[in-house]
Amino acid sequence: MLTTPLRIGGTTSARNRLYRAPVLEGAGDGDDCAAIYAKAFVENARHGVGLIIQGNSCISEEGRSSPGMTRVHTRERMLRLAPMVDAVHAEGASI
């Protein structure tokens, strides 16, 4: 049933079985990437999506295959997404 919570592994769960699939959001690599992601993700969470799978980010500098990809190859770049993650969690969804 779609409204049944979903357990993922031993430590993660989602409030239901509705998910947002990973796609190319095109948030880019600027300082505003978290705000760009948040526009879609927080709204998805607010409307009941239980799990958001953020797509098309790369973990190495040379792994970027398009200009729209967000790089998270350093701790600093990873941490700038934290406000978006916190906002999604505040709406009750996992990301």
Q: Which two three-digit tokens encode residue 72? A: 């998270």
Residue 33 lies in a domain: yes
Q: Assess if residue 15 is contained within a domain.
A: no
Query: pLDDT for 40-51, tens place per residue?
Result: 899 999 999 999
Say if 16 falls within a structural domain.
no
d(CA 86, CA 3): 23
pLDDT at 46: 97
14 occurs within a structural domain = no
- Supply the range of the domain harboring residue 48: 26-90
Q: Judge whether 50 lies within some domain.
A: yes
Which residue carries 């705000």 as its tokens?
35
Query: By C-alpha distance, which of 4, 19, 27, 21 is closest to 93?
Result: 19
Query: How high is the pLDDT of residue 86?
Result: 97
- Is 47 inside any structural domain? yes
Counting the structural domains of the chain, the total is: 1
Q: What is the pLDDT along the chain (95 residues), one digit of tens a residue?
A: 899 999 988 888 999 999 999 887 778 888 899 999 999 899 999 999 999 998 888 888 788 888 788 988 999 999 999 999 999 999 999 99
